[in-house]
Amino acid sequence: MKKLVFLTGAGMSAESGISTFRDSGGLWEQYPVEAVASIQGYERDPELVQKFYNERRQQLGSVTPNEGHKLVASLEDKFKVSVITQNVDDLHERAGSQHIIHLHGELMKATSSRNPNDPNCIVTLPADNPVIHMGDKAKDGSQLRPFIVWFGESVPMIEPAIEEVSRADILVVIGTSLNVYPAAGLLNFANSRCKIYLIDPNPVPYDPSLGIHHIMKGASKGMEELCQLLVNEG
């Protein structure tokens, strides 16, 4: 079986009703990114940051995976699939994908403010009330915080992600503006035989020497086209 690796961003979940960050009307137009998605922002105003992610979690309960997520999962019948996602939602999981690397954390999890990457401190929030209150404590006694990789923090899952990309026969990038590093740099780890596809309805800046096949469509229609293109592979 060929190894098929997906790298997904906010555009993957746009058709499920979750706003992207940088498109017009995106989240970073409504909230200053440094206030709600940086470690300095959290240190300055933890209540505001907790409120922001409590709201994101509430929204997640009311959305479902779209056709694109489902088609990504369906390709596991024919390929060895792994999904590297910058998204903190759980829509790939809910669509049935089995091997998922979350580069930027997971919305439904919480962790320690002192040691965010300590596996003993990472907990899954209850699905029926996924809220973190100020005063809720992690196992190490520190304030419980969202399990999100904020700007200014390390990205521990980048190493396994590089490993996956470097072994890919086919790499499919969906719905990311490739603005945020180190995730955006993952394309450079594809080996020279790896075929790279990009699904995004808008132009995305990438290195033309990578020979990328750009399917200029949204995630669901783009995945339908990709499945046709891959029909003789596997």
Position 202 contacts ligand OAD (CB under 6 A): yes
How many binding residues for ligand OAD (CB under 6 A)? 28
The window from 46-54, 158-166, 175-183, 208-216 that contacts ligand OAD (CB under 6 A) reads: 175-183
Tell me which residues in 40-79 interact with ligand OAD (CB under 6 A): none
Position 23 contacts ligand OAD (CB under 6 A): yes
Contact 53, 148 (CB under 8 A): yes
Position 90 contacts ligand OAD (CB under 6 A): no
Structure tokens at 59: 């929204």
Contact 18, 89 (CB under 8 A): yes
Q: Which is nearer to ligand OAD, 147 or 150 (CB)?
A: 150
**Which is catalytic among the residues 104, 133, 213, 214?**
104
Q: Which is it for strands 80-85 and 105-112: parallel, antiparallel or unpaired?
A: unpaired
Contact 162, 96 (CB under 8 A): no
Selection from 35, 54, 9 nearest residue 145 by Cα: 54
Sign of CA dihedral 131, 91, 212, 1: positive
Minimum distance from residue 185 beta carbon to ligand OAD (Å): 13
State yes or no: is 104 an active-site residue: yes
The window from 54-62, 69-77, 176-184, 205-213 that contacts ligand OAD (CB under 6 A) reads: 176-184
Contact 220, 66 (CB under 8 A): yes
Position 15 contacts ligand OAD (CB under 6 A): yes
Q: Please calculate the CA angle 139-142-144 and round it to the nearest 5 degrees.
A: 75
Position 104 contacts ligand OAD (CB under 6 A): yes
Q: Which is it for strands 144-148 and 105-112: parallel, antiparallel or unpaired?
A: antiparallel
Structure tokens at 30: 């409504």
Minimum distance from residue 157 beta carbon to ligand OAD (Å): 12
Position 20 contacts ligand OAD (CB under 6 A): yes
| CB atoms inside a 10 Å sphere around CB 129 | 9
Please give the Cα distance from 178 to 109 (Å, whole number).
25
The window from 10-18, 55-63, 75-83, 129-137 that contacts ligand OAD (CB under 6 A) reads: 10-18
Position 190 contacts ligand OAD (CB under 6 A): no
Catalytic positions are 104
Q: Footprint of ligand OAD on this chain (CB under 6 A)?
A: 9-11, 14-15, 20-23, 26, 37, 86, 104, 149-150, 174-177, 179-180, 199-202, 204, 218-219
